[in-house]
Amino acid sequence: MAIIGGGLSGLSTAAKLHRLDSSIEMVLFESGHRVGGVIHSEQVGEFLIDHGADMFSTKPSAALDFCRELGLEDQLIEPKPTRRGARIVRNGRLLPIPEGFVLMRATQLWPMLVTPLLSLKGKLRFLLERWIAPAKSEQDESVSSFVQRRMGQEVLDRIVAPLSAGIYTADVTKLSMQTTMQAIASMETKYGSLARATAVRRRKGEDSVERGSTGARYGQFRAFQGGMIELIDGIAQSLPEQAIKLNGRVESIRPMGDHWILTESGTNHEFDHIVLAVPPKAALHLLQNVAPKASAELGLIESASTAIVVLAVSAEDIQRPVETFGFVVPLSEKRRILAGSFASHKFSGRSPDDHVLIRVFIGGAMQADLLDKPDEELIKIAREELSDLIGLTGDPVVTRVVRWDDAMPQYHVGHGDRVRIIDEEIAKIPGLSFISNALHGVGIAPVIKQADQVALEIVSSLNESGGSSNGESIG
């Protein structure tokens, strides 16, 4: 068994396979010098810096269940109970997200009526949502189209768009409702409006968590005391010794009879089964001659890049402290940052008590040109924006710029149809599997859920054929 790619997708699939059937011999090829992909943590003096995701959702439960399987649950921590919530920049001020508003649905009415984020006209348009007729078809549409149609332009521009960009670093005029907000799209189909859906859920007690949230349900998230690298280390340590091959750049794969030939650094290896667990660009290259239709569809999935500027600053240097976990920035504010996250507000152990660790996000689908600037310029931009927004003065104690090029797949309108074609084409090829955050979800929990499914399918097919999946070098 060969697994190509040592990010979360490949590692999780390998670990799931090993737990299901420890007799499977496997080699995981990672082209870089470490595993984990965009998940990495760094200790700099007294500061713990996550380079990518700094927490994961417990909904779906796949990631939390996996931590329990690996014996990692005792290393998990919850977000701090104080300072929960987020803010949105409006005319240079950091205003609270209305209580009970989660992504694009208001579970409480009064906070929406009194929020300074919306004008009187915007609030009246929001109230009309109950009487807006549902879409006549269930065809996919953009997040922008859905929110404009149901709640108006102001709710889109000033609340939903920046919150969505904070998750997907995307252009909401292209972002797919069916693949990113399918549960909310279904509410319109089932109840006719989000207001009616919310009323039903309230009567059933199904919105109890959301009603106390502002932008995110923080109680449903977990992190690791030592940073998210502890998840990667835990997965890697669960694998057989010598299963991971670092600096192993796979050049090609091709079927030969009932086996596969994998060429890595000029050496051919023979395997019964291959799992591709790489980003779309790498996958389309490897699949070009093996599954050309799937490769062509993968080539149409765009990816966005982002940079995270990390600043460790003295708490005394923040003249206007923000008592929430972070903030997002609408495009209409014409600023050069997407969002800011106060990592030390969210989790313990990230910085000394008299300092604040801030992560500033730059770039994304809508401001990609900013990423052409050198690191020093990005640090300068982050400091200038924070100076204006929270009154940051003085010099940071620590600075870091973490760049993730093409790391965020863009789930554009029609993404679901594209993924179905890719899945169907791969399924036709014996001994080949594909897993990626470009397919069925970008978060940690969705990726681990995919790994579960892929591993189960592989073990089931091996049991049906009565064989095991081994590999050997052949030249």
| Domain-ending residue, one of 384, 409, 434 | 409
At residue 248, φ and ψ (nearest 5 deg) are -105, 90
143 and 238 together in one domain: no
**Does the residue 359 lie in any domain?**
yes
Residue type, 146: F
Q: Are residues 331 and 391 in the same domain?
A: yes
* Helix, strand, coil percentages for the chain (3-state, nearest 5): 40, 25, 35
Give domain status of residue 136, yes or no: yes
**CATH code for position 435:** 3.50.50.60
My answer on whether 347 and 403 are in the same domain is: yes
106 with 176, same domain: the answer is: yes
Q: What is the CATH number of the domain that holds 169?
A: 1.10.3110.10
Let me know if residue 50 belongs to a domain: no
The answer to whether 19 and 183 are in contact (CB under 8 A) is: no
- Please tell me whether residues 104 and 195 are part of one structural domain: yes
Which pLDDT score is estimated for 474? Answer: 44
Domain end point (choices 213, 246, 269) = 213
Given pLDDT bands bounded at 50, 70 and 90, which one contains residue 219?
confident
Same domain, 349 and 429: no
Q: Are residues 401 and 455 in the same domain?
A: no
Q: How many domains does the chain have?
A: 3
In a domain, 47, yes or no: no
Give me the CATH number covering residue 336: 3.90.660.20
| Cβ-based burial of 440 (10 A; exposed 0-12, middle 13-18, buried ≥19) | middle
Please tell me which residue, 206 or 69, carries the higher pLDDT value.
Answer: 69
pLDDT number for residue 207: 74
Domain residues for the domain of 76 are: 55-96+219-226+303-409
Q: How far apart are CA 427 and CA 212, in angstroms?
A: 43
Kindly indicate the confidence band of residue 87, based on its pLDDT and cuts at 50, 70 and 90: very high
pLDDT band at 51 (very low <50, low <70, confident <90, very high): very high
pLDDT grade, residue 127 (50/70/90)? very high
241-293 pLDDT, tens digit per residue, is 999 999 999 999 999 999 999 999 899 999 999 999 999 999 999 999 999 99
Q: Is residue 394 part of a domain?
A: yes
**Residues 120, 68 within the same domain:** no
Kindly state whether residue 48 falls inside one of the protein's structural domains. Answer: no
Cα–Cα distance, 158 to 139 (Å, whole number): 26
Q: Is the peptide bond before 60 cis (omega within 30 degrees of 0)?
A: yes
Residue 43 belongs to some domain of the structure = no
- Claim to verify: residue 149 and residue 190 sit in the same structural domain: yes
Q: Which H/E stretch holds residue 359?
A: strand 355-363
Q: What integer pLDDT is reported at residue 102 of this predicted model?
A: 85
Higher pLDDT, residue 136 or 387: 387
* 31 and 85 together in one domain: no
Q: Are residues 332 and 467 in the same domain?
A: no
Compute φ and ψ for 201, nearest 5 degrees: -65, -35
364 within domain boundaries: yes
**Sorting pLDDT into bands at 50, 70 and 90, what band is 212?**
low
Q: Which of 393, 409, 425 is the last residue of a domain?
A: 409
Q: Would you state the structure tokens that stand for residue 460, as one six-digit string?
A: 């089931």
Tokens of 109: 């009415």
Q: Do 314 and 355 meet the contact criterion of CB atoms below 8 Å apart?
A: yes
Q: Tens of pLDDT along 388-429?
A: 999 999 999 999 999 999 999 999 999 999 999 999 999 999
Poorest-pLDDT segment among 101-110, 200-209, 222-231, 421-430: 200-209
pLDDT(467) > 70: no
Q: Among 173-177, 208-212, 303-307, which is the least confidently predicted range?
A: 208-212
Provide, rounded to the nearest whole percent, the portion of the chain with pLDDT above 90: 89
Strands 47-50 and 41-44: antiparallel
For residue 132, give the amino acid letter. I
Half-sphere exposure of 391 (CA within 13 A, CB side): 10
Residue 74 and residue 104 in one domain: no
Mean pLDDT, to the nearest integer, of 39-64? 96
